[in-house]
Structure 1
Amino acid sequence: MAGRRRWATEEILDAAAELLRTSDAESFSVRKLAAVLGTDSSSLYRHFRSRTELLRAVADRILLAAVDGYVPEGDWKQRITGLALHVREAFGQQPQLAAVWGRYASSGAGSRLIMEEMLEALQASGLPDEKIPAQYHRLAVLVTSLIASEAGFGTLTPEEHEQGLELFRVAVLGADPERFPALAHFARDVRPLGVDRRAAFEEILAAHLAHVEASI
């Protein structure tokens, strides 16, 4: 009888990425992936020591894809903004993995390339070397948090999205002006979190970079 097929690491990552398109990271398991590949979990553990390591590897491929389409242009702020937007767009194609990226540290090639470019851009800003690691950390936390937060909206079904909008309208437009005077005053101008997130992403990042520039 023919033996089980031996899957290459890249094939396993391809299958994992495809499985995550139709599920979420919380319900993902090595056993489910093995079933998709027609093998047993032990064969996958020869490539990855744990479920977490496998998820990190899939997320790192998203970072590699982001860097692959990125060309450093402009000054240091433009470089960081361009890189952040490329990462945002890449995870927009696979929002289930944004939370994985935000939760677990990655040591893959994609992660190292992102770190290298951000650190080089900060060096070009004129910041003293002793201040760069702390500023890099703040930028990494900000960008990761914004992308992970936005990704949550990317996983909603159209029905869930519409239901959320209706609940928002009820909560805001129906607010009692005596109990919530400020909310009632701004009700027609306050927008749901999911609206125009790209502009909000760029404005928040620009404000932080301006703060960094002011400290130089």
Structure 2
Amino acid sequence: MAGRRRWSTEEILDAAAELLRTSDTESFSVRRLAATLGTDSSSLYRHFRSKTELLRAVADRILLAAMDGYRPEGDWKQRITALALRVREAFGRQPQLAAIWGQYASGGTGSRLVVEEVLQALRTSGLPDAEIPARYHRLAVLIAALIASEAGVSTITPKEYEQGMELFRVTTFGADPERFPALAHFARDIRPLGADRRAAFEEILAAHLARIEAGIHPGRPTGS
């Protein structure tokens, strides 16, 4: 009797990514993935010690894709902005995996490449080395939160989107001006959460980078 096929790590990650596109982290399991591959869970645990380790590896592949072909250009703010947009776009193509990145993070090569570039960019900004780790952390939290938020909007069904739009219209145009005077006043100008996501992403990131820049003392040696 022929033995079961031996799946490579890359093939397992391909199958996991595909399964996650049509489900979520709550329903995803190593057992379900094994069934999809026609094998048993123990064969997958030879590659990944846990579900969390597997999910981190899947998310790291998105970061690797984002870094593929990346070349640092411009000043430190331009470098960080370009990198953040690449990561956003990579997860935008597979939004179900964005929540995994935000929840589980990643410790693979893709993650190291992203972290290295952000740290390198910050070192050219004029910030002292002592401040860079904290600045990096805040940037990472901000970017991950924005991407995960966008992913949440991107993964809803057309029916859910229409329901949300109807709720938005009721919330804004149906607001009682006596009780909610500001909401009634701005109702025609307020846009739903899913509108202009890229513009909002860039504006929020730019504001954060400007805040970092404002705290840099002119004439301070780079990386001192």
Alignment TM class, shorter chain as reference: over 0.9
1:61–1:110 CA contact under 8 A, matched in 2: yes
- Corresponding residue of 1:20: 20
Q: Partner amino acid for 1:118?
A: V
Instruction: Normalising by structure 2, report the TM-score.
Output: 0.95
Q: Secondary structure at the match of 1:117?
A: helix
Q: Partner amino acid for 1:189?
A: D
- Corresponding residue of 2:186: 186
2:56–2:100 CA contact under 8 A, matched in 1: yes
> What's the RMSD between the two structures over aligned residues?
0.7
CA positional deviation for 1:70: 2.2
| Identity between Structure 1 and Structure 2 (%) | 81
- Corresponding residue of 1:149: 149
Q: Secondary structure at the match of 2:70?
A: coil
For residues 93-132 of structure 1, the aligned pairs below 5 Å read 93-132=93-132
- Corresponding residue of 2:140: 140
- Corresponding residue of 2:70: 70
CA–CA separation in structure 2 for the residues paired with 1:69 and 1:17: 22
Which consecutive unaligned segments of at least 5 residues does structure 1 have?
none
CA positional deviation for 1:69: 3.6
Q: Partner amino acid for 1:148?
A: A
Q: Secondary structure at the match of 2:133?
A: helix
CA–CA separation in structure 2 for the residues paired with 1:146 and 1:136: 15
1:69–1:86 CA contact under 8 A, matched in 2: no
1:31–1:41 CA contact under 8 A, matched in 2: yes
2:21–2:97 CA contact under 8 A, matched in 1: no
CA positional deviation for 1:73: 1.1
CA positional deviation for 1:127: 0.5
- Corresponding residue of 2:50: 50
- Corresponding residue of 1:39: 39
CA–CA separation in structure 1 for the residues paired with 2:182 and 2:79: 39
- Corresponding residue of 1:162: 162
* CA offsets 1:144-181 (integer angstroms, 9 cap, x no match): 00001110011111111111111100111000000000
CA–CA separation in structure 1 for the residues paired with 2:91 and 2:32: 23
CA–CA separation in structure 1 for the residues paired with 2:205 and 2:139: 8
* CA offsets 1:6-31 (integer angstroms, 9 cap, x no match): 10000000000111111112211111
CA positional deviation for 1:71: 2.0
1:70–1:82 CA contact under 8 A, matched in 2: no
- Corresponding residue of 1:80: 80
User: Which deviates more from structure 2 when the two are superposed, residues 4-13 or residues 20-29?
Assistant: 20-29
* CA offsets 1:16-51 (integer angstroms, 9 cap, x no match): 011111111221111111011000011001100111
User: Which deviates more from structure 2 when the two are superposed, residues 141-150 or residues 157-166?
Assistant: 157-166
User: Which deviates more from structure 2 when the two are superposed, residues 70-79 or residues 191-200?
Assistant: 70-79
After TM superposition, where is structure 1 displaced by more than 4 Å over at least 4 residues in a row? none
Which consecutive unaligned segments of at least 5 residues does structure 2 have?
217-224
CA positional deviation for 1:104: 1.5
Instruction: Work out whether 1:207 is the aligned partner of 2:207.
Output: yes
User: Which deviates more from structure 2 when the two are superposed, residues 166-175 or residues 20-29?
Assistant: 20-29
Corresponding residue pairs, total: 216
CA positional deviation for 1:105: 3.0
